[in-house]
Structure 1
Amino acid sequence: MAELEHIEPVDKVLVVMAHPDDVDFGVAGSVASWIKAGSEVSYLVVTDGDAGGFDPAIDRSDIPLIRRGEQKKAAEAVGVSSVEFLGYKDGALKNTLDLVRDISRVIRSFRPDRVVCQSPERNLQRVPSSHPDHRAAGDATLDAVYPYARNPFAFPELLEDGLEAYIVKEVLITAHPSPNAYVDVTDTFKDKIAAILCHHSQLPDPDSVEAMVKSWLSQGARYAGLGDDSLAEVFYKVTV
């Protein structure tokens, strides 16, 4: 097994995810550690998660507002104050030029050192992590990083809005089938769990969450070559 690279904090991180709660299951432990190290982190959530939930007593028209509120509380749990929603339809997400433009807009505005996104590749070891929306959001984010956000001649309407081209140098991809980098989240595990538990509408059995997530992160720590009591979130790191 190849040795995984330890990921260091950077000044600014943009996390782009398909649904509310994706960021918390996927990267909230890392976000909490970066925030504690002084990073500025912003979330961009592509859909409102309107196809989510488990309780038929909740009016479906209420779900988007509920899920936006849950995501904002989850962000606060790890120290993130900036959360933006694009409002695309949950369950119908495609990598389109409109989506790439919308993500490019945020990249050019926030100007992050690092972007975190979901894997455009299907992970057959963890099929639920490869929801079609996740893959579409990851694919569109990578297209935004290269070439669109950095190309001054792409999306001239962004230039008209004063958003100059911007080069993202590093991308971390979650749920990739072949991770090559990690963040030790042993000390921020409780922060991650607190963030996940904010998503009440998605958790029919909240008491099972901590053990389930700990098992995933223990596996990540083993993959990273850390000690038995360690926990890690793993990524595929791309230098652009």
Structure 2
Amino acid sequence: MTLIEFPEDWDSALVVVAHPDDVEYPGAAPVARWTAQGKRVIYLVACRGEAGLDDVAPEEAARLRVSEQIAAGAEVGVSDIEFLEHPDGMIEYSMGLRREIAKTIRRVRPDFVLIGNHREMSGNGMLNMSDHRAVGQAAIDAIRDAANRWVFRDLEDEPWDGVRHLALLGSPTPTHAVDVVEHFDAGVRALLAHRVYLENLETSPAAAEAMLRKFAMSVADDFDGRPGVALEML
């Protein structure tokens, strides 16, 4: 398999994921590359991660994880981060979720939408969790919803049919890759910004960096020897 260079003929991107930290496993290095090029990148996170810390009450966990996601975004040049109020671990595919994502697409008018993997399997060979699948599929459908003026007619913003690229992060069947040679360290710093979350998982900073390096080098085998992050173009 040969991975194709991901196109960069766009100016703005909306990244739609289920949880705080989903972007950083391992999508933050490409974001650092893109913001360094002057592109605008916005994150839309479907929940606040309140169920992600086993020994921390949900209200406090939500506060911590939102704070860590904001810090992670700052490491790669992203300051525009929006959080929805869906329940962590129990997110359902719904018209309401589609509407919220479509509303954001109409408002921010991205050229490119990057979403978390909605497939049954993750790129690491493990079963994908239901939150990821629900949010990913809703985001795919919301792109079409955002373009159709007769869908969600109560939304104030005009329809937007300008999404030219749609890709999956963490797909088991990638087609493209982004060269992260110059931005790998920024991606590591973004992941390490989730300090409490990583500590809860008993993942040391060294182990987190080694994991990201392993991911990047596994892409290199199919990407002209260059470390990268793989995406599936839809």
Q: What TM-score do you get using the length of structure 2 for normalisation?
A: 0.93
**Structure 1 or 2: more helix by fraction:** 1
User: Hey, what does 2:149 align to over in structure 1?
Assistant: 152
Superposed displacement of residue 97, structure 1: 0.3
Matches of 1:165 and 1:89 in 2, distance apart? 28
Superposed displacement of residue 187, structure 1: 0.9
Superposed displacement of residue 223, structure 1: 2.5
Q: Is the 8 A contact 2:12 2:111 kept in 1?
A: yes
Cα deviations by residue, 1:174-211 (Å, 9 ceiling, x for unpaired): 12121111100111110001000111121122231001
Matches of 1:109 and 1:125 in 2, distance apart? 31
Matches of 1:29 and 1:149 in 2, distance apart? 28
Q: Is the 8 A contact 1:5 1:180 kept in 2?
A: no
Taking only aligned residues, the RMSD between alpha carbons, in angstroms, comes to 1.5
Tell me the SS of whatever aligns to 2:84: strand
User: Hey, what does 2:208 align to over in structure 1?
Assistant: 209
Matches of 2:136 and 2:13 in 1, distance apart? 16
Unaligned runs of 5+ in 2: none
Superposed displacement of residue 70, structure 1: 0.5
Q: Which amino acid aligns with 1:43?
A: Y
Superposed displacement of residue 119, structure 1: 1.8
Matches of 1:59 and 1:3 in 2, distance apart? 43
Change (3 A) 1:215 1:141: same
User: Hey, what does 2:50 align to over in structure 1?
Assistant: 50
1:121-132 equivalence runs, <5 A:
121-123=119-121, 126-128=124-126, 130-132=128-130
Matches of 1:188 and 1:181 in 2, distance apart? 17
Tell me the SS of whatever aligns to 2:85: strand
Percent of aligned positions that are identical: 33
Superposed displacement of residue 108, structure 1: 0.2
User: Hey, what does 2:10 align to over in structure 1?
Assistant: 10
Superposed displacement of residue 128, structure 1: 4.7
User: Hey, what does 2:73 align to over in structure 1?
Assistant: 75
Cα deviations by residue, 1:40-90 (Å, 9 ceiling, x for unpaired): 010000011111024x2x333201111111100100011111000012101
User: Hey, what does 2:110 align to over in structure 1?
Assistant: 112
Q: What TM-score do you get using the length of structure 1 for normalisation?
A: 0.91
